Chains A and B, each alone.
Chain A
Amino acid sequence: MEFDLTETQKLFQRSARELFTQELPGVLARETAESNVDHSSKMWSHLQEQGWTGLIFPEELGGQGLGMVELAVAFEEMGRALVPGPFLSTVPLAGALIERLPKNAHRDNYLKSICDGTAKATVAIMEDDASWGLDSLALTASESSDGVKLSGKKLFVTDAAEADLILVPARIGTSHVVAVVKKGASGTAITPMPGIDSLRPLYQVVFESTPAADVLARGDAASSALAQAVDVATLALAAEMVGGMQFVLDATVEYAKTRKQFGKPIGQFQAIQHHCADMLLMTESARSAVYYAAWAMESEPESGPLAVSVAKAYASDSYREVGNLGIQTHGGIGFTWDHELHFYYKRAKSAELLFGDATYHRERIAKLVIDGQTATVGLRAADAAD
């Protein structure tokens, strides 16, 4: 039994950290937030060059063929540096969904364009009822000799404006489908939903008889692929949250050592020490939950959904609380715009809400553990129907 990264994974972690510390953590984020300048393109090119856009996808489609643990490592580093851009939407969400859809030429081409970084993508899941579940999916697609057309509204779609591809879970009659809408498709109105976290932009996407470029799956193939992909994205997000927690913890401890009041570093006061100790407990515990979930998704897929929910529930509450304590310990300066902490504080909130908050995931845990419901099928792409 060995619960630790392999040497190769540690090397990957180190190189990822170096990549992101070439720019100071928070600086790219700040400039993106303050000047609306698209710094994420620059970072996207780096990620593309490093092959990250194909990180977890099969080598035959141009990917790196790496696994969930590497995905977690990558996202932890991105969360630590608060790297802006549509990476979460494109790779572990849209890419993972496409990967789990039935293989055909169209699907393969979409995945190739994600792997080589030429396409950015997202998945439009949520609707008016604010549910991450698929049971209440209402957006309808109509099918005719003209093809499939979508009409309806999706909300809180991450990175929709930048996406070249929007994957849209919808309904044709009583059956679920996953449709692809390309950038610029007629009848599509994408409106920003500006929120607390400007670094992960959200959009309302309204379709009015919008032609779907493709329908990649129907029925169970669609719904199970979507459920699995959301778990992959949730795992990536939880890993990103651990990275953010670590940044806040490190910054806070450093501040406690250097900030002096009453003639001594404030870190010498037990109230401050106790805050820091609590932040450490939460960060390390979230890390354990995330890496177990990553391992389980690969090696014990039947345990994957429960492990992901434990990780997301725990990380959701913890990142918020670590952010709270981090700002509290910094005192007045932690409350300023100029200090980078608020970017992490805000990311903690948006991440808490994305793909289900702690309450949502606790209910999912309850369904699995109290009601004894079997979790949705395993996460290996090979399980998808061909």
Chain B
Amino acid sequence: MDLNLTPEERQFRDEFRAWLKTNIPAEWSGLDAREPESARERFEFLRAWQKKMADAGWVGIHWPKEYGGRGASLIQQTIFIEEMARAQAPPLVNVLGLSLLGPTLIAFGTPEQKSRYLHKILNAEEIWCQGYSEPNAGSDLAALRTEGKQEGDHFIVNGQKTWTSFGHMADWCFGVVRTDPEAPKHKGLTYMLIDMHCPGVSVRPLKQMTGESEFNEVFFENVKVPVSNVVGKTNGGWDIAIATLMFERGTLGASLQITFKRQIDRLIELSRKIKRKGRPASEDPVIRQKLAQIYAEIEVFRLNQMRTVTRMSKTGVPGAEGSIQKLFWSEMNQRMQQVAMELLGPWGQLNHDSPHAIDGGQWAHHYLRSRGNTIEAGTSEIQRNIIGHFVLGLPRSY
């Protein structure tokens, strides 16, 4: 057992770290832009940044070399993600294309699809969004109703997707559509690539309780999708969709543990400055207990992540310690944001419009945003059901 990086791993890390240091644009502040007016500007900035990274060979590193990647190992991918987070680098805007669609096409796409789409994912020329969830199909994704009726060499798609990240900026959408309404639920679905610039596609931002719109509703009205845009088999889309979700599992926690560590370090720093009855809050035994608990949980999350990376590198499948990660971090982050609120006292509720806000009101934002963590990407209830059935072997409850 050796938790240190090998010399080769360190070399990879140092190389990328140095590249980031030299190349992260000076005007990138590291803070997310929250105003919609600047969102388009930010998007174009990020697109250019991804292209720059791609030109230097630092995008899609986990893809096979023949498709423009580096064939990077899981540990290298983890190092990559951690270094991006450490440097607070601008994120890769085509993240859904890079981490979800790209590997899906590599695994299941036709040669034509690969040559048509893959390189434009890498250089951010075409931005992708994911069309899965619908108003009536969240946890029960297979209940989705967006329909695709085949007419010759096209499907005519009608329906609505929701919680679509990047929908307003995307050029393309990889979506799951019901193509055989007579078939049993999971068996009549098709995975297809939909041009967002097609007539009949409209996008409406979905305003969330934080005030911003990370997500969208996407409406399809008689949208023509060529049959050649089907990935895998017609009516064989469910398996592709599930496989897509599997692609992200190994590296999911890698950037989060850096972000969380940065936050707890900041909270500890703040605790030394904030006064309680004339003394620093960091001397308050209750605050100390709460901060220490969060610190410990972030450490444990990091350690679980390392075990998962090792396991997946060896077996290709996350073990039990991997299946718990999303559940772990989402609930832990909610606890952390509550501790932050307790530490900051009444100042915690002030948002970025208030000149009195601490850290630009980011804690108020984090507090609200964290509420969504236990819902998105698989609710905590579904996660527990999955663990119960698929990991512990208990009978399916539904």
- Measured CB to CB, the residues of A under 8 A from B are 1-6, 9, 69, 253, 256-257, 264-265, 267-270, 272-274, 276-278, 280-281, 284-285, 287-289, 291-292, 295-296, 299, 309-310, 313-314, 359, 362-363, 365-366, 369-371
Asked whether A253 lies within 8 Å of B310 as measured between CB atoms, the reply is no
Asked whether A288 lies within 8 Å of B289 as measured between CB atoms, the reply is no
Asked whether A1 lies within 8 Å of B4 as measured between CB atoms, the reply is yes
* Min CB gap A273→B, angstroms: 3
With a cutoff of 8 Å between Cβ atoms, the chain B residues found around residue A69 in the complex are 1
Closest A residue to B299 using CB positions: A310
With a cutoff of 8 Å between Cβ atoms, the chain B residues found around residue A295 in the complex are 1-3
Contacts A273-B385, A273-B397, A285-B324 given; indicate if A1 touches B2 (C-beta within 8 A): yes
Contact of A267 among B292, B384, B391, B395 (CB under 8 A): B395
Contact of A362 among B268, B271, B289, B395 (CB under 8 A): B289
List the one stretch of B29-37, B185-193, B300-308 in contact with chain A: B300-308
Contact of B304 among A6, A272, A278, A288 (CB under 8 A): A288
Q: Complex: how many Å from CA A268 to CA B384? A: 12
Q: Complex: how many Å from CA A56 to CA B342? A: 45
With a cutoff of 8 Å between Cβ atoms, the chain B residues found around residue A274 in the complex are 381, 384-385, 388
New A-B contacts (5) at CB < 8 Å, excluding given A1-B310, A366-B288 = A1-B3, A3-B1, A277-B392, A280-B324, A288-B303
* Min CB gap A361→B, angstroms: 8
Q: Complex: how many Å from CA A274 to CA B392? A: 11
Q: Complex: how many Å from CA A288 to CA B321? A: 8
Q: Does B48 contact A (CB under 8 A)?
A: no
Contact of B387 among A4, A9, A277 (CB under 8 A): A277
With a cutoff of 8 Å between Cβ atoms, the chain B residues found around residue A281 in the complex are 324, 327-328, 387
Asked whether A280 lies within 8 Å of B268 as measured between CB atoms, the reply is no
Contacts A3-B3, A277-B387 given; indicate if A362 touches B288 (C-beta within 8 A): yes
Asked whether B393 lies within 8 Å of A359 as measured between CB atoms, the reply is no
Which interface class (under 10, 10 to 19, 20 to 34, 35 or more) fits B?
35 or more
The number of inter-chain residue pairs (CB within 8 angstroms) is 162
Asked whether A268 lies within 8 Å of B397 as measured between CB atoms, the reply is yes
Q: Complex: how many Å from CA A383 to CA B300? A: 28
Closest A residue to B298 using CB positions: A310
With a cutoff of 8 Å between Cβ atoms, the chain B residues found around residue A277 in the complex are 324, 327, 383-385, 387-388, 391-392
Q: Complex: how many Å from CA A296 to CA B307? A: 15
Q: Complex: how many Å from CA A133 to CA B321? A: 34
Contacts A273-B388, A277-B384, A281-B327 given; indicate if A1 touches B9 (C-beta within 8 A): yes
Contact of B395 among A268, A288, A291, A370 (CB under 8 A): A268
The A-contacting residues of B in range 48-85, CB under 8 angstroms, are 75
Asked whether B289 lies within 8 Å of A363 as measured between CB atoms, the reply is yes
- Measured CB to CB, the residues of B under 8 A from A are 1-6, 9, 75, 268, 271-272, 282, 285, 288-289, 291-293, 295-297, 299-300, 303-304, 306-307, 309-311, 314, 320-321, 324, 327-328, 381, 383-385, 387-389, 391-397
Contact of A292 among B3, B297, B395, B396 (CB under 8 A): B3
With a cutoff of 8 Å between Cβ atoms, the chain B residues found around residue A369 in the complex are 268, 291-292, 295
Main secondary structure of the interface of A (DSSP, over half): helix
Question: What would be 14 A-B contacts, judged by CB atoms less than 8 Å apart?
Answer: A2-B3, A2-B310, A6-B1, A257-B394, A268-B397, A274-B385, A277-B387, A280-B391, A285-B300, A291-B1, A299-B4, A313-B296, A363-B292, A369-B268
Closest A residue to B307 using CB positions: A3
Sorted nearest first, the 9 A-B pairs with minimum C-beta distance are A273-B388, A267-B394, A288-B303, A362-B292, A277-B387, A366-B288, A277-B384, A365-B292, A268-B395
* Min CB gap A5→B, angstroms: 6
Asked whether B388 lies within 8 Å of A9 as measured between CB atoms, the reply is no
Q: Complex: how many Å from CA A281 to CA B311? A: 16
Asked whether B306 lies within 8 Å of A1 as measured between CB atoms, the reply is yes
Asked whether B5 lies within 8 Å of A1 as measured between CB atoms, the reply is yes
Q: Complex: how many Å from CA A256 to CA B388? A: 11
Asked whether A285 lies within 8 Å of B306 as measured between CB atoms, the reply is no
Asked whether A5 lies within 8 Å of B300 as measured between CB atoms, the reply is no
* Min CB gap B328→A, angstroms: 6
Asked whether B396 lies within 8 Å of A268 as measured between CB atoms, the reply is yes
Asked whether B3 lies within 8 Å of A359 as measured between CB atoms, the reply is no
Closest A residue to B397 using CB positions: A270
Asked whether A253 lies within 8 Å of B394 as measured between CB atoms, the reply is yes
Q: Complex: how many Å from CA A359 to CA B393? A: 35
Asked whether A299 lies within 8 Å of B295 as measured between CB atoms, the reply is no
Contact of B6 among A1, A268, A269 (CB under 8 A): A1
Closest A residue to B391 using CB positions: A280
